[in-house]
Amino acid sequence: MKRPLDGTRLVMGTDYYPEQWDPSLWDEDLRRMRETGIEVIRIAEFAWNIFSPREGVFTFDFFDDFLAHCQKAGMQVIFGTPTATPPAWLTQRYPEVLNARIDGALYRHGARRHYNYNSVIYQRFVRELVGKLAAHYGPHPSVIGWQIDNEINCEVSEFYSDSDTLAFRSFLKDRYGTIENLNKAWGTVFWNQTYSSWGEVEAPRLTPSGNHNPHEMLDYRRFVSDSACRWAKMQSEIIRPYLKPGNFITTNGIFPDVDYHRMVQESLDFLTYDSYPNMANALGYRPPKGSLGDRESSICLDEVRSIHGIFGIMEQQSGANGGTGSAASPSPRPGQITLWTMQSIAHGADFVSYFRWRTATMGAEIYWHGILDYAGRENRRIGEIRNIHGLLQKIGAVAGKPYEAKVGLVTTYDNQWDAEVDTWHGKIAQQSVSAICRAAQHTHTPMDFVYLREDTKAADLAKYAVLFYPAAVIAKKWQAEVLRQYVAQGGSLVFGCRAGLKGTNGQCTQKELPGVFRDLAGCEVREFTFVAEDEGTIHADWEGTRIETVLFNEELAPLGEAKVLARYQESYYCGVPALIENPVGEGRVYYFGSAFSEEAARVFLEKLSAADPYDSLLTAPACCEIAARADRRERYLFLLNYDKSAQEVIVHTPLRDLYTGRKIEESLTLPGYGTAVFLQEIPSAASKTE
């Protein structure tokens, strides 16, 4: 059998915990999995004690036995390193391996993710364990890949132990060289925070007001990411020599304060994601205004795809989610498991593994339901997943084909982390990014996340007709140059307010805003303000179209050849420029001196001719998502109905319905939570000229 993500087919899997079940169930479970269409299982990510019940003692009998059953059943296995749950014998004898809160209190044994990955003692034990597992199980014919740890930085992404202080100092010494450089970067002259030696520098500690030096906290998040990447790299380097040809290393994300681009580049063959759309339906949860509900997962999937293209789903929701001490959610309604599976595949997943095969009968996740209930009987969910397997056979040729998007949302890790530290930045970024994503979804405009990295070239951006950069607060000269080259070759770039405000360390520039983007944007910011609550919604007039200017407004002035496109219509800055257009080479830069609302983002998409790129093929209501994966010859159009009511889709060009094999020429009715996949043959360049 071929491995997942080989670019030739779609593969289904599930998560299985043989240590939680009587061995008499194994053969029957494996047989039923195979009959359901499941080819791959993930195991062992929480099983440290099974391998090492005491310090210095290792045993492989249990999983040797289970893998023999897998081999007999023809089941492929992803082996998890069980390093997210250290055993009690380890944390009791070596409490320095435990993570700590900011007040110094240790997280104790009794849940998971209580370890500290900067502890040299914990690293020593992990190296030994992972080395023995890789050496023993790497050669096994059923093992096709490895998952490092489990959900790195899930539940807690802050680390304040003594080990973290030592590691933080080392990180800062490498970054700044001298304590004088650190003081300058952190602006420690403010509030008399100056350090005279490295021994005075600690991981952030409890303060009276809860306020911390923002430049320190930005570096701290860089440090957390660096620690997570080094953690994954340590394990990857141990495992890789034992990989058989075609085997892989992955981990499951995505979680806060991790540079996943670096992690994949250094340590992984591809990334997987844990997709739980039903969290949006948790009882008592009050979603923010304009929330997309379970459709919000499409945005998360877009972000995963931005990291490494085609990806996998290690945990796809198959039942109600919740725990004894966490959220409670309803069971997926008929069709929703199919909807969420196709949502993942539409956005670039070629491997979908359902969490979990059997619902746990013990522990904190007895209500985090799997495919089967506690008794293991046949149910609606397993029937739906069997049907999904049949659908995947019909659309399998989509495997390996990239997601199609001509609009991108630009971001950087520095800006994401600064938005966690800086309330002003965070409010504006959350408002604008969410609004642009919602507008793209509701106008059927596929969109990519585009991370600006030091190796990013203008050629990498050329495929996008429009790039939004709504939270460009931390900015660097090289980024401005790459974006200038992108625009000069014909692209359209849209800035939001606050662009160019800060430098690398998060200190505000003393240059006229938008700082390093001033020449590119063709404007200056003369004044700025949050919109007072008693003012209501402020608008600007864009050549006859009213657009909302929400949350934060800047008063702009054009420079050089730039021209004013829109002016504010209310408040004391009525008549002042709100939107500037600047020609650069073959393209245009638009500087919008506000945060984005969904309505404003929609106007930009429409005026820049980027909205609804498939409108010549079909028309669908806003509650349906349209996504496409395509190569030069074929386009696979996914239609996803997130509404419980049936929806009519109008087809303007004959398309092949891959579920039924029929040609659809006029219309199609999607049932509530229904999906469809259409095939469009793309004429070759030669045939177009004939």
> What number of other Cβ atoms are within 10 A of residue 88's Cβ?
11
State phi, psi for 589 to the nearest 5 degrees. Answer: -110, 135
Cα gap 360→235, rounded to integer Å = 28
Burial of 669 (0-12, 13-18, 19+ CB in 10 A): exposed
Long-range contacts of 112-115 (CB under 8 A, 24+ apart): 112/46, 112/84, 112/85, 112/155, 113/84, 113/85, 113/151, 113/154, 113/155, 113/156, 114/86, 115/83, 115/84, 115/86, 115/91
Cα gap 682→632, rounded to integer Å = 7
Long-range contacts of 264-269 (CB under 8 A, 24+ apart): 264/307, 264/308, 266/229, 266/232, 266/233, 266/236, 267/148, 267/229, 267/232, 267/233, 267/235, 267/236, 267/237, 268/148, 268/232, 268/236, 268/308, 269/145
CA-based radius of gyration for the chain:
26
Given the residues 303, 315, 404, 554, select the one marked as catalytic: 315
| Identity of the residue numbered 54 | R
Residue with tokens 């509404």: 643
Per-residue burial over 410-430, b if 16 or more Cβ lie within 10 Å, else e, is: bbbbbbbbbbbbbeebeebbe
Residue length of the chain? 690
Stated as kind and residue range, the H or E segment containing 352 is: strand 349-355
Given the residues 39, 45, 151, 216, select the one marked as catalytic: 151
| Identity of the residue numbered 616 | S
- Does the annotation count 315 as an active-site position? yes
**Which residues carry out catalysis?**
151, 315
